Amino acid sequence: MNSRHYLLAFSAGIACFWSAVSGAAALEKTQKTLADAQQQAVTKQQQIDALDSKTVADHQQYLDTLRQADLLDAYNRQLAKLISAQQEELNSTEQQLASLEQTELTVLPLLEQMQAGLRRFVEADLPFLQSEREERLQRLDNLLNRADVSLAEKYRQLLNAYQTEVEYGRTLEAYSGELINAAGSREVNFIRLGRTALYYQTRDGQESGIWNAGSGQWDNLPDSQNVAVHKAIQLARQQVVPDLLTLPLPAITQEVQP
């Protein structure tokens, strides 16, 4: 091979070498570009994923807020109903109080009249259990004047007092008590025959008497009546078996109804 051919071959080799070197550099640059692009794509995807997660979270928060708003709206509607019902109840209570005040203005004078009538009845009746009955009347007087006692309770207590007085007319009762008459004050046994008659007998059984409603005094009974009165006392106390009573009746009777 001559020198010319050698130079050409050498030149061609050099050209191939630099061509190979240039191609490798371009390939490396291309690979780096692709790697950078891939890394950027990964970064962008991560950013997109983060934005997507935030979007999902924001949407869920939005839905939760809507649900809370619905619950709050339902609560407000229910609360409005409760307030309306309470207002109606308050109005009804005010009307009842006004009606009650009007009722008290009407009924209380009636109860006072009933109490006064009961007192007149007791004063005109046979003088039995006087302390007990007077205490009952006094309690009723005090009760009617109390502002902290309901009208219904006043009425109930007054009816109970009337019922007690009515029951006296249906019973036979014996009790011990103080007798005050012209002879002085003594402890005796009393026997009440309903409201028909009232008798007394001394503890020794030697003296008996009957209440005279006409004169408002005690009349002495004959000694022959002592046994009958004593027997009536025993019968009222259930100390003997029931038997026919032969008690004398007052000459003048006064029937008073409560």
Tens-level pLDDT at each residue, the chain (258 residues): 555 555 556 556 655 555 655 666 766 777 777 777 778 777 878 877 777 777 778 778 878 777 877 776 776 777 677 677 767 776 776 666 456 566 667 788 889 999 999 999 999 999 999 999 999 999 999 999 998 998 889 999 999 999 999 999 999 999 999 998 777 889 999 999 999 999 999 999 999 999 998 888 999 999 999 999 999 999 999 898 887 888 888 865 444 444
CA separation for the pair 45, 37 (Å, rounded):
12
DSSP string of 39-93, one letter each residue: HHHHHHHHHHHHHHHHHHHHHHHHHHHHHHHHHHHHHHHHHHHHHHHHHHHHHHH
User: 62-101 b/e with 16+ CB inside 10 Å = b?
Assistant: eeeeeeeeeeeeeeeeeeeeeeeeeeeeeeeeeeeeeeee
Q: What is the value of pTM for the model shown?
A: 0.58
**Could you tell me if 235 and 243 are in contact, meaning their C-beta atoms sit under 8 angstroms apart?**
yes
The tokens describing 257, both together, are 């109804």
